[in-house]
Amino acid sequence: MNTKNLLVYNSETLFEILSEIKPNLNLEIKNINKENVNKIEIDKPENYLFITINSCDQIKDCLILDNLPQKILKIIEKINLNFLKKQFINQSKIEIGKYILDLNSRRIYSENIGLDLTEKESTLLVYINSNKKVSLKKIQKNVWNYSSDLETHTVETHIYRLRKKIYESFNDKNFIEHDKNGYFLKV
């Protein structure tokens, strides 16, 4: 099981309060300051939460408790919500070769380049990626809810447009391929 780590930044008082209730939190709590913040090794960012009562310009994602005093239950609720948010964001990302597909924002990324996708394009990529190779009829049935005997070029048109978008943004001609057995992602 992955341990959740609460990193209390530059606030000795907050660290002491949270340390007292640590048995009820099911978290590891560490006290850090400006001098040792860069020495923290973070293997899985979703398992770490920085918290402080001051501003923390040095840290990108930090929970700031600026309206003190607060009830301890309210503080615990904020901590838990932030961990849930991190988990949700992490679970919404699918790795497809050199690309990351973010299902929340419906964007696909490669390095520093991002491309907005439609809901159907995102669904199509997830479906093809999860099946490795899939026939046109299965895409029609499972992505569009069309009958497998329906004659339509909806799938081909969407794939053509998606290939074009991928090529224009990432210069990748071979992202979506097909052969006699169906469509697949070449990653």
Checking if the pLDDT of 86 tops 70, the result is yes
Query: pLDDT at position 107, please?
Result: 92
Give residue-wise pLDDT tens across range 134-143.
998 899 888 8
Q: Provide the residue ranges of all domains of the chain, joining segments of one domain with +.
A: 5-91, 94-185
> Considering only 35-49, 71-85, 95-109, which range has the smallest mean pLDDT?
35-49
Checking if the pLDDT of 115 tops 90, the result is yes
For range 162-176, the mean pLDDT: 93
**Whole-Å CA distances, 30 to 10, 12, 15, 182:** 11, 10, 8, 52
How many other C-beta atoms can be found within 10 angstroms of the C-beta atom of residue 76? 15
Query: 94-185 — its CATH code?
Result: 1.10.10.10
Q: What percent of the chain has pLDDT over 70?
A: 97
Within 13 A of 32's CA, how many CA atoms are on the CB side? 25
Q: Is 115 helix (H, G, I), strand (E, B) or coil?
A: strand
Query: pLDDT at position 150, please?
Result: 66
Domain 5-91: top CATH class: alpha beta
Place of tokens 């991928």: 166
